[in-house]
């Protein structure tokens, strides 16, 4: 059984995600799902973008969209077709201020694509360009205080989930929740997804 600080950190992350469920808006989730389903129905493409660990999180979601037969691409990878009117861009940035992510969102928007921003800050530059915002809590004041108490008890000084960890993991798990709703609405089985999974890797 994992013990020590690793255990404390895992529990804190898990607690945070559990509380985040209360804070993430069902309306925002539904708006995101509606846009994705409409794009799929209309033969539109989905593009994803993010930097650092947020970029990894949105790529993990993109893989599942591929497994559900969406026409999906990662901005910046080799195979990236042009963005067209009514395509979707999913942009993930906790701060909403990552420079290249904002630049990509602005360009996509100017072409007529719909931008879904996943961010803690709806008033950020990324939030401002978005058609749909899904607000994911980051390390809030609450979390920081609890974290402080927990650390007092353990006699340590540093946070148990440094930098953007809580935002990144919450976003990943939230998006895996969205995957299940998409599967259900589209009547896609796990077996169908296996069929679309890379077999040469």
- Catalytic residue positions, numbered: 168
Site residues for a second copy, 101-120, by CB under 8 A, read 103-104, 107-108, 111
Binder to a second copy among 35, 36, 39, 72 (CB under 8 A)?
72
* Residue 114: DSSP 8-state: E
| Minimum separation from the CB atom of position 20 to a second copy (A) | 8
- Please count the residues of this chain forming the interface with a second copy, following the rule CB under 8 A: 90
Closer to a second copy by Cβ: residue 67 or 127: 67
Considering only 34-42, 44-52, 114-122, 125-133, which stretch makes contact with a second copy by CB under 8 A? 44-52
User: How far separated are the first and last CA of the chain, in Å rounded?
Assistant: 32
The CA R_g of the chain, rounded to the nearest whole Å, is: 18
Backbone angles phi, psi at 159, to 5 degrees: -65, 155
Site string for a second copy, 143-162 (x = CB under 8 A): -------------xxxxxxx
Any contact of residue 176 with a second copy (CB under 8 A)?
yes
Q: Are 57 and 170 in contact (CB under 8 A)?
A: no
- Which of 118, 109, 96 minimizes the C-alpha distance to 32? 118
Region for 112 from its dihedrals, namely left if φ exceeds 0, alpha if ψ lies in -120 to 50, beta otherwise: left
């Amino acid at each position: 059984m994992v013990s020590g600080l690793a255990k404390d950190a895992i529990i804190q992350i898990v607690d945070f995600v559990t509380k985040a469920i209360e804070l993430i808006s069902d309306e925002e989730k539904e708006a995101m799902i509606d846009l994705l389903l409409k794009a799929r129905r209309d033969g539109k493409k989905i593009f994803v973008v993010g930097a650092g660990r947020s970029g990894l999180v949105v790529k993990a979601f993109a893989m599942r969209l591929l497994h559900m037969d969406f026409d999906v691409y990662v901005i910046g990878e080799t195979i990236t077709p042009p963005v067209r009117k009514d395509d979707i861009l999913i942009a993930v940035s906790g701060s909403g201020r990552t420079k290249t992510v904002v630049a990509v969102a602005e360009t996509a928007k100017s072409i007529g694509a719909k931008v879904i921003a996943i961010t803690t800050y709806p008033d950020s530059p990324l939030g401002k360009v978005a058609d749909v915002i899904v607000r994911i809590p980051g390390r809030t004041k609450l979390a920081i205080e609890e974290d402080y108490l927990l650390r007092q008890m353990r006699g340590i000084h540093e946070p148990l989930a440094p930098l953007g960890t809580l935002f990144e993991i919450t976003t990943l798990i939230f998006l895996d929740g969205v995957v299940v709703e998409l599967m259900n609405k589209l009547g896609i089985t796990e077996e169908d997804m296996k069929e679309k999974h890379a077999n040469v890797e």
